[in-house]
């Protein structure tokens, strides 16, 4: 009998794998919540939404669907934010058990499953932003690390740094990010770029984002008060589109 069972195993396994695949393929294809589910979830958000609430979606690939239903509550500046610290209320709409990085470590004050779309709201004390680098220039929305970021872009020539000075009202910290914009120049030119930050002629931060580093954070202690903050972009290679943003936080 044992020999017969052993002899049967390969065929039984093949049949089971085949039947599993037949069922699983159709199940997978219908496992993602549809527009009706998203519309219901969006209703829940809209009912309690307050101006300035951040709305995020997880996993990242479902972001277009989320914006289809709630994009009118997500202005370009919010979608292309430097980071999420200035937002005290965050809505997360997620599927498939995913979690947005913006809410990692936070506990939800609201959590509701709406037809497969998990709606959660998080509340926390936001960072108090006294000023940012966009006071004198609007910046642009660039792709850095395949994500949108509103930033000021400097393109230094090799050996000739590019500089911009921004008058800011400083708090206790200057928090910023820098990265290399444009996937194609990152592909073709592999050298990193450098951003140095000076306040009153003294360097307070320096980051050197490479082509695969994305949006790199810097954080420097500052003395509260008005000051000119100088950002110096440099690179040994041409076409380094160094994008940066920074906020003075209390």
Residues that bind another protein (CB under 8 A): 3-5, 7-8, 10-15, 17-22, 24-26, 28-34, 59, 61-65, 67-68, 70-72, 74-76, 79-80, 96, 98, 140-143, 146-148, 182-183, 186-187, 190, 211
74, 67 Cβ separation under 8 angstroms: yes
Our CB check for another protein shows the closer of 26 and 217 to be: 26
| Cα 199 from chain centroid (whole Å) | 28
Our CB check for another protein shows the closer of 4 and 202 to be: 4
Q: What is the nearest approach in angstroms of another protein to the Cβ of residue 126?
A: 21
Helices within the chain (DSSP H only): 2-29, 35-48, 63-70, 76-79, 183-188
Residue given tokens 């609201």 in the structure block: 110
Q: What is the nearest approach in angstroms of another protein to the Cβ of residue 152?
A: 14
Our CB check for another protein shows the closer of 12 and 110 to be: 12
Residue by residue, DSSP assigns 58-112 as ESGGGHHHHHHHHGGGS-HHHHT-S-STT-SEEEEEESTT---GGGTTPPEEEEE
Q: What is the nearest approach in angstroms of another protein to the Cβ of residue 6?
A: 8
Our CB check for another protein shows the closer of 78 and 220 to be: 78
Q: What is the nearest approach in angstroms of another protein to the Cβ of residue 104?
A: 17
Which helix (DSSP H) or strand (DSSP E) does residue 123 occupy?
A: strand 117-123
Backbone φ and ψ for 42, nearest 5 degrees, come out as -65, -35
Q: What is the nearest approach in angstroms of another protein to the Cβ of residue 81?
A: 12
Our CB check for another protein shows the closer of 181 and 233 to be: 181
């Amino acid at each position: 009998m044992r020999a017969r069972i052993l002899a049967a195993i390969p065929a039984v396994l093949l049949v089971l794998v085949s039947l599993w695949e037949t069922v699983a393929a159709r199940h997978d294809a219908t496992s993602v919540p549809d527009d009706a589910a998203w519309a219901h979830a969006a209703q829940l958000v809209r009912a309690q939404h307050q101006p300035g609430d951040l709305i995020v979606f997880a996993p990242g690939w479902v972001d277009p669907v989320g914006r289809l239903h709630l994009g009118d509550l997500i202005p370009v500046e919010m979608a292309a934010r430097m980071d999420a610290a200035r937002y005290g209320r965050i809505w997360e709409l997620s599927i498939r058990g995913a979690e947005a990085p913006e809410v990692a470590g936070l506990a939800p004050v609201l959590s509701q499953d709406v037809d497969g779309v998990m709606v959660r709201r998080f509340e926390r004390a936001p960072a108090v932003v006294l000023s940012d680098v966009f006071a004198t220039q609007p910046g642009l929305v660039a792709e850095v690390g395949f994500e949108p970021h509103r930033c000021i872009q400097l393109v230094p020539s090799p050996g000739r740094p590019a500089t911009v000075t921004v008058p800011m009202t400083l708090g206790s910290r200057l928090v910023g990010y820098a990265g290399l914009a444009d996937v194609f120049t990152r592909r073709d030119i592999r050298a990193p770029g450098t951003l140095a930050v000076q306040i009153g002629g003294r360097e307070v931060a320096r980051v050197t984002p490479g082509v695969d580093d994305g949006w790199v954070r810097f954080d420097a202690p500052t003395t509260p008060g008005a000051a000119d903050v100088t950002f110096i972009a440099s690179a040994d290679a041409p076409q380094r589109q160094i994008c940066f943003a920074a906020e003075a936080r209390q």
